[in-house]
Amino acid sequence: MSLRSFALLSFCVLLAACSKVNQENYAKLSAGMPKAEVETLLGKPTDCSGALGMSSCTWGDKNSFISVQYAGDKVLMFSGQGLK
């Protein structure tokens, strides 16, 4: 393996290990938490949708994700799957 390939592989592993979509951050979520605080914790969501003052945002992918539902700008409920 070339040095360049090794460096690229190491970088990819490091990014995966530093993902904000993890059990530790999931445990920090709570009902009533402001949306801005959630985004400080998890970063920019992968996807958001909503209407009439309700919204749902997801971080991660189909295998490992955190989903947060908001009423206004406060967490109503949240769920996660595949978190490490």
Write out pLDDT tens, residues 16-73: 446 899 999 999 999 999 999 999 999 999 999 999 999 999 999 999 999 999 999 9
Distance from C-alpha of 42 to C-alpha of 62, rounded to nearest angstrom: 16
Distance from C-alpha of 30 to C-alpha of 15, rounded to nearest angstrom: 26
Domains of the chain: 23-81 (3.30.1450.10)
Distance from C-alpha of 84 to C-alpha of 75, rounded to nearest angstrom: 22
Distance from C-alpha of 82 to C-alpha of 60, rounded to nearest angstrom: 10
